[in-house]
Structures are given as C-alpha cells and as structure tokens.
Structure 1
C-alpha cells in the first residue's frame, strides 16, 4: 500500500471516531484552546449543524457559490461534502467551551505531499489573532500526522483581510483566474470567465502557496 492510500485510510479512521477524540491542543497568549475534528457523528448533532449553517449564512458573500442556507442543506453538505469526501478534514475551533469558527484541509496531492487549507471561517467575534495562530497549529499537525510538506489555498481578490492573514503566514500568490457572476434560479455563483470575455472583471480567484 502506498503512502497516499495510507493517509486516506487514516483520515477515514479518525473521521469515524467519536467527536472530540481527535483534537489539536493549542495555546495563544496564554489562552488554551482546541481544534476539534468534525466526525461522522456530528451529522446528527443539531447544534453543530445549526452553527455551521449560521456561520455559512453570515459569510455567504465570500463563498463562490451563494444560495439559500438551511439546516437541511447544511446537514447534507456536512455528510456528503465533508465526512464522505475522502481527502477532506474540517476542525472546529473551541475556546472556553465555545465554538468560534472552523478551518481544515482539502484536495490532497499525494505526488508532492501537498493539500489546500480549506474553509477558514471565523464564526464569532473576539480573540484577535487566534485564526492565524490556529492555522499554524493545523499545518504543523498536518506535517506530523499526514506527512504534508506543501500547503496551498484559494481566496478571492476582494477579500483583503484573508489575503493579509495568509501573507503573514508566509503564503504568496502564484496564480489568479478572472471570475464572473452568474445567477440561475436563486443559485448565485462566481465561475471562471470565458477567454473572450470583454467586460470589467470585478473578482479574481487567487491561488496562494506557502513560501519555503
């Protein structure tokens, strides 16, 4: 069995463990907190599903796909797009017994042992600097436990706050793709602009990688 398959088996195993079993212990400015892996039993946890739905709705404008957010849709997304996606992990940030956001990994490339930093969302205010600190712990955990050597991520050109955060962590842009906005039956989505598109581009999808 190659290393890529071993990593996927490990991801599958830890997703099947009880919620709270896989937790990254972190400290920031003498404040202890945890990154707790969302596991399969969370699909039936109404509080977690509602929390994820509320945060998604709150930050809807920063996602490329925008639609009416419901707890039902969020539950399906959590089950199909997170738990059942072999190379995706999502961690809740818990501090003082409160969840304040999430961050994770997605789209592993086993040829060069890389993956994307995924779904970084601050759900609740307070604790300035904790997202940046949490990402440092997350990437270190990925190196030790999943043998990740390189990290990439995607964000949008109009999300300057995110760009500043990732730049502080050592990420730099290596590619950008122009986007156009579409709206079909209440489903709003930013997609790649066709090559012959002549109108003004208002948003780009930025690809960033960490500097070595």
Structure 2
C-alpha cells in the first residue's frame, strides 16, 4: 500500500491528472485533490503559497516558526515526498486554483490506520464548504484505496472551529493531553507536559478518532442527494 502513496507522489511524466481525486458535493464536482509532487518543489509560486498558508495558520500548529520559502521547499521534499507513510494534496476549486491543502501521515499498512493532517484553507473558494468536502474526499479515498479502517486527527483544543468541523463528520474525542510551551531560537514548541508537574497546562492537544463507517455514511448521504 505504501507503493500507492509513492505512485501518487511520483507519477509518471504527464500523468498527474490521473492521480487527482475529484471533490464531489451532492453529485456536483466542486474541485479536486491534486497530489503535491516534485513539480511543486520546483514551482516558486506554489512554494510561496504553502509557506504563506502555514504562516497564516501557525497558531494552530504545535511547532511554530517563521515559514520561509526555502524551509517549506525542504520540508516538502524531505518530510512529505521522502516519507513512505505520508502524502499531501492541494485542494483546488472548480477553476483549478489552489485554495488549501490536506493530507495524511503515519499510514500503517498492518493496522490500517492513519492520521489526517494539514487541513488548511488558504483562501475562500467558489464553493464555501470545499475544505470539509476535501477531508471527506480524502477519507473516502483512504478507505477505498488504502483500506483504512480508522483515522485520527490531532488538533489543539482552542481551535474550536476545526473541532466543530471534525465533529460534524463523525469524529469523536478519545484523548486530551496537556501541553507546555518551550521557546528557543525563534521557534515555539508545544510539548507534552511532564507527568509529575502540578501546574495547570497552558494548552491541550485533542486526539479525535473517525471510523470508516462515518465516512461511508457521508458518502451514502452524498449520493442520495
């Protein structure tokens, strides 16, 4: 199954479109998921977009730092394209313009689990709910292509809007972990609080679980409309 991720991230020349996944909402194609590939690494405009989106949403990451274009390029090449258990997609609207990103990581072929990750809206698309449907599309794809049985989402507890979106898709909270802040060399990290600490946590990380049945129920409802 990891070979499937590699194929989507490194498609044959001229074959990228066949590795894009249509985003369908109530029977209408509203955009697509386009896998991020080496073409993006070489595309200055797309690297700039991703860096800007990361910077704008930095408050919701557990590691916060000034997002440079070169750092973004290295992250994509090394941490995304170079990882066997990870993939990242551009979310494109009906006109083919990138409006956000979404991906998965920690895909485990044995347990059939993964973590849905990096759901970021960069700008408002023509279709207002495209980011929710992008996650639904990724969830269905992960079930049908990777045979994922259960997925996890990790989100900081004060990101209320994101939590509401995940709950509306059937995700349920399964764990809440206290975090403490560490600032060093211009980088802010929210780390697990020491078990022996008595101080109130400065922040919390919520782990949510979404089972394949939730995505399949959304799929059935989508087809019924």
Q: TM-score by structure 2 length? A: 0.87
Alpha-carbon deviations, 1:117-161, whole Å to 9, x = none?
111101102432221112111111111111112111110110100
- Who is 2:24 aligned against? 27
Within 1, Cα distance between the matches of 2:30 and 2:166? 22
Residue segments in structure 2 that go unaligned for 5+ positions in a row: 214-225
Deviation at 1:210, TM superposition (A): 1.3
Within 1, Cα distance between the matches of 2:137 and 2:107? 18
Deviation at 1:31, TM superposition (A): 5.3
- Who is 1:4 aligned against? none
Q: Larger RCO: Structure 1 or Structure 2 (Cα < 8 Å, ≥ 6 residues apart)?
A: 2
Q: TM-score by structure 1 length? A: 0.92
Within 2, Cα distance between the matches of 1:43 and 1:20? 18
Deviation at 1:36, TM superposition (A): 0.7
Q: Which consecutive segments of 4 or more residues in structure 1 shift more than 6 A?
A: none
- Who is 1:41 aligned against? 39
Root-mean-square deviation over aligned CA pairs: 1.5
Residue segments in structure 1 that go unaligned for 5+ positions in a row: 1-6
What count of residue pairs does the alignment treat as equivalent?
206
Q: Identify the range of structure 1 (113-122 vs 28-37) with the bigger mean alpha-carbon deviation.
A: 28-37
- Who is 2:86 aligned against? 88
Contact 2:30 2:130 survives alignment (8 Å): no
1:16 is the counterpart of 2:15? no
Alpha-carbon deviations, 1:147-189, whole Å to 9, x = none?
1121111101101001100000000011111000110111111
Within 2, Cα distance between the matches of 1:205 and 1:88? 21
Q: Identify the range of structure 1 (101-110 vs 14-23) with the bigger mean alpha-carbon deviation.
A: 14-23
- Who is 2:221 aligned against? none
